[in-house]
Structures are given as C-alpha cells and as structure tokens.
Amino acid sequence: MYSYYANNHTGYCLKYRRAPENFLSIAEPVIYADAYPKLSMPDVSFCKTGDFGRTILFTKSKLWSHENEWRVTLANGANRVAKPPQPILDSIILGCAMTDDKRKQFIALNNQRKLPVALWQAVKRKFDFAVDVIPI
C-alpha cells in the first residue's frame, strides 16, 4: 500500500493504538463488493447515517480487499476534528524510498515530541514484492 498511499514509498505510515478506551474502538471493517451498493430513494437521508450511511461510507471494490481496511466515521457536524483524550499514536513507519533529509526531519520532530513514539524504517525485501519494517 506504500506505493499508492505513501507517494511511491517516499512517505510515511502512522500506526495508531486501537483500544477499548479510545475512539478507534468504534472502527469497523470495510465491505468489499463486486458492484456499487443498490440505493433506493426512501433510504436516502444525509442527516442520518444508519445502515444506509454505513453502506455508502464503508463499501469499496473487491479489487481493494487486500487492504483489509477499517474506518471510523463521526457524524457530529462539519469542520470537526476528533481529538482523543489520550495519545493514540503508537509509531511511525518511514517509507523505504524516503530521502535522508526527510528521514532526519522525522527523527528530529519525533525527538521534540512530549511523548516520542517508536520509529521504524520500511526496507524492500531482496527477492519478494514486499517490505519489512525495522526499528530505527
């Protein structure tokens, strides 16, 4: 997923801690389907999410099923940012094609955090189409 979500391995991945006491506990798995969900006009209400909203917001093509994605939706109005009461950032994984300058910036920024997190480096496997992560 680094190739399309982390700018061809030059970006980073944030790993969050999912626990019963934080808002990630309400995350739900994405529904992977062969076709778009069927809609009927009586179901359409943008003020309520319910099953209809969940179907729309959580359905993706089966072509993406390898992602095993989970999502969180918060329906409390526009322009709201969910701020968890406790830190949920667990670690940062740096892409294997990230430049040395960017890598140094991430390390410096992490060291300035009140609660630094674990930093990992993605490394391409030699003979596989895969990456491993190693601690920095």
Tens-digit pLDDT profile for residues 116-135: 999 999 999 999 988 899 99
For residues 21 and 100, which has the higher predicted lDDT (pLDDT)?
100
Mean predicted confidence (pLDDT) in 87-108:
93
Calculate ∠ Cα 49-50-56, nearest 5°. 60
> Is 104 a residue whose pLDDT tops 90?
yes
pTM: predicted TM-score of the whole model, two decimal places: 0.73
Alpha-carbon distance of 50 to 54, in angstroms, equals: 6
Question: Count of alpha carbons within 13 Å of 77, Cβ hemisphere only?
Answer: 2
| pLDDT tens-digit readout, 58-92 | 999 999 999 899 988 776 555 556 666 668 899 99
CB atoms within 10 A of CB 71: 13
| pLDDT tens-digit readout, 11-39 | 998 898 888 888 888 888 999 999 988 76
Residue linked to tokens 């990230």: 98
